[in-house]
Structure 1
């Protein structure tokens, strides 16, 4: 998948396409909460495998049962279709 920057109209649509994610002009971000550290770490492991598939890696933080993921495409200087795809796949993992 070749990444391309999303235009303003596409960025506005992201709120519907990737529920739960906060969208601004620089990145998309979502906080995920779990019952404990093991569940949070398990989620992060699943996300890491998806990230490797796309060779696209998040900025993320984990404190005990909370995981915060921030996505953008540094090489292109903003939010791309690749960030949208990755966010959708992360939502699918979380919703299972």
Structure 2
């Protein structure tokens, strides 16, 4: 799978509310109403990621969960990352 160009990533971002490109990856931080709400979102995203065999890096800080997407095997952002960002938005409710 090919790494997307900066222009391709920029073109995808308007359709990915809450996501940004940072340090060569797609990143979104979400503040949940309660700690366990964030943990539940991580569980749901994790189950989906396992089924898709494409796993985000996830950082949990109290009520804030940060998802980071990059295709490590390609050393960059690919269409798989853009698709997973869309999926995560659907799972957590944009």
TM-score (norm 1): 0.89
In structure 1, distance between residues paired with 2:59 and 2:23:
21
1:36-68 per-position Cα deviation (integer Å, ceiling 9, x unaligned): 111000000000011111111111110121101
Structure 2: which 5+ runs fail to align?
none
Kindly indicate whether the alpha-carbon contact (under 8 Å) linking 1:18 and 1:88 is maintained by their aligned counterparts in 2. Answer: yes
Matching residue within 16, 28, 34 for 1:36: 34
CA spacing shift, 1:54–1:36, aligned 2, 3 Å: same
Matching of residues 14-29 of structure 1 within 5 Å: 14-24=12-22, 26-29=24-27
Q: Using the alignment, how far apart are the partners of 2:6 and 2:65 within structure 1?
A: 27
* Regions of 4+ moved over 3 Å: none
Contact 1:31–1:66 (CA<8 Å) still a contact in 2? yes
Q: Structure 1: state its 5+ residue gaps.
A: none
